[in-house]
Amino acid sequence: MKIRFGIIGCGYIGNRHAEHITAHPEAELVAAFDIKPEKTEALCKKYNAIQSSSLSELLSRNDIDIVNVCTPNGLHFECAKEALANSKNVIVEKPMALRKAECEDLVHLALRKNKQLFVVKQNRFNPPVQAVKQLISEKKLGEIYYVVTNCFWNRNKEYYLKSDWKGKKDLDGGTLYTQFSHFVDILYYLFGDIDISSISGIAKNVNHGDLIEFEDTGSFTFKFKNGALGCFNYTTAAYEKNMEGSFTIFAENGTIKIGGQYLNTLDYQRTNGIDITNLPASGPANDYGFYQGSMSNHDKIIHNVVETLNGRESIMTNAMEGMKVVEIIESVYNSVKWIK
């Protein structure tokens, strides 16, 4: 069955969704809406979709099976809520919302409406991540001792000045929501639940002044509920360009580092005979012109939506998992010491 899509938010990410929807043989982009009519017009002309003049007009269509929420972070909740209320399946970009309570509302509404709620977490599809996931699932690494996450990126002045929402607390949420929620998600995906009560750390705006209303740099420690320890270091103040996005895993049967800039390379492994071999190549990173972001696996996200709604697969990242990531980030921000 061909799955029919509608898009809310026609910026860069909305266009990336449109690109992969129209490229999929069992998907069709029906309509799109953005509060800026010129963005709606541009996307719809490029991808031969119907221009909706309002959100209610888009959601009232009976020829749309699923709505892609590609708006600024702070609007994810309201848009997803309205779509579910109109009996649409929903796929929402990261983060699912900016508060756990909002995520809970969406989960309950999806259940009441008997609709699927997908959350975009495309780094789960990276070949090194999948390889380590298999080792952990098969218990080949043995006991996990310690996981170190390093996220060292650059977000320059132009990045914030070109946007009317990035850097603003109510629409952006913070650096962990916009830049590094994918890394929090991979922690949860690979190693299990984090003991929220064990989180402690520091955060500071070291290099972005009045461009942002929150931190650009932080470091926190935590404990997984399985007993392993963790450390998460992050900044968007790396000089001139992104430097690294990595996980280093210290375990009973080996030490492994997934690295590169976007968790797309296997940088180190020393194991007792369980080395990862023959990794397929990773796809390219999202290219935003003057900076790059996480891996561009949105084709795999759209494919998973099509397969799930056709009953052939299960959701790669469901609403409960999306909510868990928001809960962890919210707990970090509530726990760390803010330094001025």
Confidence of residue 280 (pLDDT cuts 50, 70, 90): confident
- For residue 69, give the H/E element and its range: strand 66-69
Among all chains, which residue has been given the structure tokens 């590169």? 260
Per-residue pLDDT averaged across 189-198, rounded?
Answer: 96
The β-bridge relationship of strands 254-259 and 244-251 is: antiparallel
Amino acid at residue number 200: S
The pTM for the full model equals 0.94
d(CA 74, CA 97): 7
Q: Which domains does the chain have, with CATH numbers?
A: 3-119 (3.40.50.720), 123-295 (3.30.360.10)
Is residue 27 a contact partner of residue 53, using CB atoms and an 8 Å limit?
no
Per-residue pLDDT averaged across 4-10, rounded?
Answer: 98
d(CA 82, CA 308): 22
Per-residue pLDDT averaged across 262-278, rounded?
Answer: 95
Confidence of residue 255 (pLDDT cuts 50, 70, 90): very high
Q: How many CB atoms lie within 10 A of CB 280?
A: 9
The pLDDT of residue 281 is 74
Q: Is the pLDDT of residue 314 over 80?
A: yes
Q: Is the pLDDT of residue 232 over 60?
A: yes
The pLDDT of residue 295 is 54
CA-based torsion, 299, 26, 133, 96: positive or negative: positive
Per-residue pLDDT of 86-138, as tens digits, reads 999 999 999 999 999 999 999 999 999 999 999 999 999 999 999 999 999 99
Mean pLDDT (the chain, rounded): 95
Q: Is the pLDDT of residue 291 over 70?
A: no
Closest by Cα among 329, 331, 264, 322 to 93: 322
Per-residue pLDDT of 49-65, as tens digits, reads 999 999 999 999 999 99
d(CA 59, CA 62): 8
Is residue 251 a contact partner of residue 260, using CB atoms and an 8 Å limit?
no
Token pair listed for 265: 């390379």
Q: How many CB atoms lie within 10 A of CB 164?
A: 11
- 209-to-155, 170, 206, 215, 217 alpha-carbon distances in Å: 13, 17, 7, 10, 12
Per-residue pLDDT of 140-193, as tens digits, reads 999 999 999 999 999 999 999 999 999 999 999 999 999 999 999 999 999 999
The pLDDT of residue 284 is 58
The pLDDT of residue 330 is 98
For the CA atoms of 47, 53, 55, 61, the dihedral, rounded to the nearest 10 degrees, stands at -70
The pLDDT of residue 289 is 53
Classify 194 as helix, strand or coil.
strand
The pLDDT of residue 283 is 60
